[in-house]
Amino acid sequence: MSSTSIRTLDSTELLSLISQLTDAIQQSITPSVLLEYCCAQLRTSEAWLFEQYHLWDECHFFHTPDSSFSEDEGQLHISKHEFELCHPYIAMASTSDSSSNYCSQLTFKLTTRENLASIYLYLEFTMPQPQALFTSMEFVLFLNIVRLYFSERASFKNNFFHSLNISEFYQDIVDDAPVMIYALNEQQRIVMWNKQCEQVFGWSKQELQQFEQPLKLFYPDKKYRDRVLKQSAQNTDSKKLKEWNPLHRDGSMLTTLWAQLLLPDQTTLNFGIDITEQRKAEKILKTRARIDGLTQCFNRDEILHQLEELLKDSQNQSQDLPFCVFMLDLDHFKSINDTWGHLAGDESLIHFSQLLRSYRKQNMTVGRFGGEEFLLIMKGSSLDEAMEFDRTLRTTLQNHPLTYHDQTIKLNYSAGLVLIEQGCWNLTNLLTNVDQALYHAKKTGRGRTIQAEQHV
């Protein structure tokens, strides 16, 4: 089954459902309303709940208005399935093919606190969902929210509590939560800090409670900390996740997503996900898309993109004019490969690019065009400045040859140079002219730079 044809649930949607459920539960919603929240967000075509108490001969059946299941059919369905424990207090029975990576029908068995009741939740999705979704930390947290809701109902019925204590409600969520959950009171003191928070940040709850303003540890910059607090307060009624960059105990920066819930006692309950590694991976991929892996210069696509953008800008504004473009080619590169091997060729390219980049100023951009060829852009530079740079580079290459396995390899290059004084060039014409100038430099003896206009 092609994953591109399936509209699967993602973590953002599940966290939005969790936030909605937690908010709604504080308003004492009924099980039927809770089920409606689940159906709307999970995109189910069929859903029902079966609440079975163990200490009393009592059970309740809740279903959506258009459900085709009756209470008897629900009981029969439950009796036909074996439930396998997939998380503490949560078991699952799938009605789909076990060999498939997707399933469309599942039944969950949730055990309340002190085993007072069992809750059976049946979900039939409009589109098959990946099996991995139902063991993800977001889905497990959603099931724990439902489990804790019915735990409170069972506890109230059993007269374990004289009144519903909100701290008892979310304490169990904290104990088993696979995401970060912490709470701040009105004085910005930590009153809840789960194990996931401790693992991500490196601080224990006991340590944080010794600080009057623990948020300073995570956001030492006052302006940034005030912005976090302000936007978090504004976000309590929103289902959108906010991205923040708190500090780990060792001083390293984290990337996290947060949703907030304001409780009746003005305590702010925060749900978070650590996406630090994800952002690092994205940064690496973004860098790889722009940077040549061997030379660490820009790659061909990126240097051509920057050159094209510069040409477009030069047609509308003149501050970057004039500018010069070099196309440089290492001389006798094939001979280096044939004599010392391809690793020596790689080292030659690295050595040459390092020298190019060592001269790079704010107005200079270097990219590997392909093979042993490089493009170099000098913004706001005259022809005299470009030729002065060329002479300096050749002197540096002469004075700093490549040392490879205790052998000295002297490098030189040929180059074509084009001066852009008016914004009437396009990329194709520019590359054609500078390439022809480079060809002329190689044809006439190598180790020299030819200006394009001299022979076009």
Kindly list the domain boundaries of the chain, sorted by start residue: 3-157, 179-279, 290-454
Q: What percent of the chain has pLDDT over 70?
A: 88
Question: 170 falls in which pLDDT band (50, 70, 90)?
Answer: low
Q: Is the peptide bond before 264 cis (omega within 30 degrees of 0)?
A: no
**pLDDT confidence bin for 237, thresholds 50/70/90:** low
Q: Looking at residue 398, what DSSP letter applies?
A: H
Provide the pLDDT for residue 122.
94
Pairwise CA distance, residues 147 & 131, whole Å: 21
**Portion of the chain with pLDDT greater than 90, in percent:** 38
CA–CA gap between residue 330 and residue 345 (Å, rounded): 10
Report d(CA 211, CA 6) in Å as an integer.
49
C-alpha to C-alpha distance for 317 and 212, rounded to whole angstroms: 55
Tokens of 343: 């690793």
Cα gap 108→150, rounded to integer Å: 14
Buried b (16+ CB within 10 A) or exposed e, 170-179: bebbbebbbb
Taking domain 3-157, whether its CATH number is 3.40.1710 is answered by no
Mean pLDDT of the chain: 84
Per residue in 38-86, pLDDT tens? 888 888 889 999 988 876 666 888 888 888 888 889 899 999 989 999 8
pLDDT in tens, 304-352: 999 988 888 877 766 667 889 999 999 999 999 998 999 999 999 999 9
CA-to-CA separations, 432 to 9, 425, 439, 450, in angstroms, rounded = 50, 11, 10, 14
The pLDDT of residue 455: 39
Task: Of 49-63, 121-135, 237-251, 382-396, give the lowest mean pLDDT range.
Answer: 49-63
**Token pair in block for residue 257:** 């997503």
Residue 279, SS3? helix
Amino acid identity, residue 421? E
Confidence (pTM): 0.47
Cα angle: 220, vertex 224, 227; to 5 degrees: 135
Residue range 290-454 in CATH 3.10.20.30: no
Q: In this structure, how many other beta carbons lie within 10 angstroms of the beta carbon of residue 181?
A: 22
CA gyration radius, the chain: 33
Give the pLDDT score at 164: 34
CB-CB contact of 264 with 169 (8 Å)? no
Would you state the pLDDT for residue 134?
87
User: Mean pLDDT, to the nearest integer, of 363-387?
Assistant: 90
Backbone phi, then psi, for 454, in 5-degree steps? -70, -20
CATH number belonging to domain 179-279: 3.30.450.20
Q: Please, what is the Cα angle at 151 between 149 and 157, to 5 degrees? A: 110
What span, in angstroms and rounded, lies between the C-alpha atoms of 283 and 273? Answer: 18
CB-neighbour burial class of residue 182 (10 A; exposed 0-12, middle 13-18, buried 19+) = buried
Sheet holding 413-420, edge to edge: 364-370, 373-378, 323-330, 413-420, 449-451
* pLDDT at residue 2 is higher than 70: no
In this chain, the answer to whether the domains covering 179-279 and 290-454 adopt an identical fold is no
In contact, 347 and 386? CB cutoff 8 Å: no
Q: Which of 154, 185, 149 is nearest to 264 (CA)?
A: 185
The whole-number pLDDT of residue 102 equals: 85
